[in-house]
């Protein structure tokens, strides 16, 4: 669901993409947003100029030779299809902004910066322009994509990625400083979630800097264990668990900055679901959670889920309101008694 192109020079951070309004266009079924290619999204490294002297070769060049001869066992340069792609995101290294051959609609070429910081500290990731998106779809064989829908597709694409990053920020806000910090922050379950605020407010964790996205991989053809479980439950209990499988899946690799100044990489799994349209507008659901790669990541998921269940089971905010009302009544009685 997330396409990012990296420029040679990093761009500055800007406000996140707003929720697209006034458009009832949703990505067509053939859109590669629904069938992303595997890839990750580190910025493309600047092409290095190959040395005239191969590594390990003798640097001496005889007078009658202009360049040193490569060693006999040097591998032949590769020229396959994959060599033409950016190895960091499996997209064309320099996707054209030029108008396609049979294109009849003018598409913007401006690229919108995201609110997602890059792992190398060089600003924020940038989304593709509508023209780049259209050219990418043509290269992938999606020649039947309506040209007048591309801008809406890009808006939906950007909005969903911003939502996914907001969910990751909430996980990092709770558990980035440690399991104990996450236990305390999860005391009030999901009622204490700050997901909707984290993209527009300063990073609230003073112990460590905010996380960064280092790379990602689209895996649309592979159901996560959780999605697979829901599909199974939907077969035996359709009234409760019936749902269409996610139309896309992504693994995002996030750099978690720790209070001691070090950092670790954490993988997050994102399932993208499409819901029933409401008022003519497309509806999407994101299921974002840490991958269970380590015991601590399993603990994070267990703590957040378990504390939310417990908070709702004991009455949650209702119990706090009753306690506050009781405390206020006792304070009022004490005030009257002190006046006497």
Among 1-15, 19-33, 69-83, 93-107, the range of highest mean pLDDT: 93-107
Mean pLDDT within 285-314: 95
Cβ atoms of residues 199 and 166 within 8 Å: yes
pLDDT, residue 15, reads 36
| Average pLDDT along the chain | 77
The ranges assigned to domains in the chain are 82-339
pLDDT, residue 87, reads 47
Cβ atoms of residues 6 and 42 within 8 Å: yes
Least confident of 108-117, 293-302, 326-335: 326-335
pLDDT cut 70: percent of the chain above it: 69
pLDDT, residue 323, reads 65
pLDDT cut 90: percent of the chain above it: 40
- The neighbour count for residue 11, using CB atoms within 10 Å, is 16
pLDDT, residue 194, reads 93
CA–CA gap between residue 279 and residue 117 (Å, rounded): 34
Q: Give the closest residue to 135 by CA, choosing from 29, 5, 46.
A: 5
Cβ atoms of residues 244 and 144 within 8 Å: no
Q: Taking the model in full, what pTM does it have? A: 0.69
Among 3-7, 119-123, 205-209, the range of highest mean pLDDT: 205-209
pLDDT, residue 224, reads 92
pLDDT digit string (tens) for 254-285? 999 999 999 999 999 999 998 888 888 888 99
């Amino acid at each position: 669901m997330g396409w990012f192109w990296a420029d040679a020079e990093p761009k500055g951070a800007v406000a996140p993409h707003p929720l697209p309004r006034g458009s009832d266009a949703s990505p067509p079924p053939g859109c590669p947003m629904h069938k992303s290619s595997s890839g990750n999204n580190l910025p493309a490294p600047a092409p290095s100029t190959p040395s005239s002297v191969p590594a390990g070769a003798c640097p001496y060049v005889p007078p009658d030779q202009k360049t040193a001869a490569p060693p006999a066992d040097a591998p032949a340069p590769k020229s396959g299809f994959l060599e033409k792609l950016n190895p960091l995101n499996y997209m064309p290294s320099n996707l054209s902004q030029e108008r396609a051959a049979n294109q009849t609609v003018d598409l913007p070429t401006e690229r919108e910066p995201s609110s997602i910081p890059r792992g190398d500290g060089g600003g924020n990731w940038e989304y593709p322009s509508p023209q780049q998106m259209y050219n990418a779809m043509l290269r992938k064989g999606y020649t039947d994509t309506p040209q007048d829908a591309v801008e809406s597709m890009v808006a939906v694409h950007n909005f969903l990625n911003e939502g996914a990053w907001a969910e990751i920020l909430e996980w990092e806000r709770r558990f980035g400083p440690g399991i104990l910090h996450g236990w305390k922050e999860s005391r009030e379950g999901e009622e204490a979630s700050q997901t909707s605020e984290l993209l527009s407010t300063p990073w609230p964790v003073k112990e460590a800097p905010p996380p960064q996205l280092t790379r990602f991989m689209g895996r649309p053809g592979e159901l996560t264990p959780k999605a697979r479980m829901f599909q199974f439950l939907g077969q035996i209990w359709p009234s409760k668990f019936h749902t269409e499988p996610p139309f896309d899946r992504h693994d995002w690799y996030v750099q978690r900055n720790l209070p001691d100044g070090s950092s670790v990489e954490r993988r997050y799994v994102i399932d993208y679901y499409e819901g029933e349209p409401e008022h003519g507008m497309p509806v999407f659901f994101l299921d974002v959670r840490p991958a269970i790669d380590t015991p601590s990541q399993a603990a994070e998921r267990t703590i957040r889920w378990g504390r939310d269940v417990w908070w709702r089971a004991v009455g949650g905010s209702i119990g706090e309101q009753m306690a506050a009302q009781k405390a206020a009544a006792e304070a009022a009685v004490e005030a009257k008694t002190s006046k006497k």
